[in-house]
Amino acid sequence: MKQQAADQGELLQQLEQQIMLRLQQAQGLLEFAEAIDIPSNSSLFASPREVLSKAKSVELLQQLQQARKTTDAIREIIETFKQRQQQMLYQKNEQLKRSKRFVDLVQLLGALLSVLSYVGVVGLFQVLDRRMTQRDREIRQTQDTIQALTNHLVDGVIMVDQSGRIESINPAAERILAHSSKDLTGQSLMNVLFPPELMTMPGEHASDRTSIASSAPNMDAMTWVQFKAESGIVEQLQAQQANGQMIPIELSVSRSGSAWSNLIVLIRDVSERVRLTEALSDKLIELDELNQQLHRINILLQHKNQSLETFVRAAAHDLKTPIRGIASLAQWLETDLSESLTPESQTSLRLLNQRVLRMQAIADGLLNYASIEAWIDQQATVDTRALVEEICRQIPVPESFSVRILGAMPTLRTPHLALKLVFKQLIRNAIDHHDQGRGIIEILATPLEHCTEFVVRDNGPGIALAYRDRVLQMFQVLDQNPDVSENIGVGLALVYRAVQLAGGTLDLKTASIDDSSGETIGRGLEVSFTWPFLEQTSTG
- Write down the domain spans for the chain: 6-146, 156-269, 278-375, 377-539
Q: Which residue has the higher pLDDT, 296 or 346?
A: 296
pLDDT score at 16: 77
Nearest to 213 by CA among 194, 199, 227: 199
Q: Which residue has the higher pLDDT, 288 or 33?
A: 288
**pLDDT of 385 over the 90 cut:** yes
Cβ atoms of residues 169 and 187 within 8 Å? no
Q: What is the rounded average pLDDT of the residues 89-106?
A: 88
CA 241 vs CA 100, 137, 237, 249, 273: distances in Å? 88, 38, 13, 11, 18
Q: What is the rounded average pLDDT of the residues 87-95?
A: 86
Using the Cα atoms of residue 145, residue 148, residue 152 and residue 153 in order, give the sign of their dihedral. positive
Strands (E), 459-524: 506-510, 513-514, 520-521
Nearest to 269 by CA among 154, 355, 365: 154
Helix (H) or strand (E) holding 499: helix 491-502
Q: Which residues pair with 508 in a beta bridge?
A: 527
> pLDDT tier at 208 (50, 70, 90 boundaries)?
very low
pLDDT score at 210: 40
211-215, 233-237, 453-457, 467-471: lowest mean pLDDT where? 211-215
DSSP string, 390-458: HHHHHTTPPTTEEEEEES--EEEEEEHHHHHHHHHHHHHHHHHT--SSSEEEEEEEEE-SSEEEEEEEE
Angle at which helices 9-35 and 54-152 pack, to 10 degrees? 160
Domain 156-269 falls in which CATH fold?
Beta-Lactamase (3.30.450)
**pLDDT tens digit sequence for 149-202:** 667 777 888 888 777 788 888 888 888 888 887 888 887 777 776 655 544 444
Integer Cα distance of 234 and 267 in angstroms = 10
Decide whether 156-269 matches 377-539 in CATH topology.
no
Backbone angles phi, psi at 5, to 5 degrees: -130, 65
Mean pLDDT taken over the chain: 76
Q: In this structure, are strands 379-383 and 520-521 parallel, antiparallel, or unpaired?
A: unpaired
CA 517 vs CA 25, 136, 358, 430: distances in Å? 157, 89, 38, 21
pLDDT score at 387: 94
Nearest to 198 by CA among 248, 256, 273, 269: 248
The secondary structure of residue 536, as a DSSP letter, is E
Contacts of 422 (CB under 8 A, 6+ apart): 494, 495, 498, 499, 529, 531
Q: What is the rounded average pLDDT of the residues 328-333?
A: 75
**pLDDT of 130 over the 80 cut:** yes
pLDDT score at 356: 75
DSSP string, 81-120: HHHHHHHHHHHHHHHHHHHHHHHHHHHHHHHHHHHHHHHH
Helix (H) or strand (E) holding 67: helix 54-152
Integer Cα distance of 127 and 264 in angstroms = 35
pLDDT score at 405: 92
Domain 377-539 falls in which CATH fold?
Heat Shock Protein 90 (3.30.565)
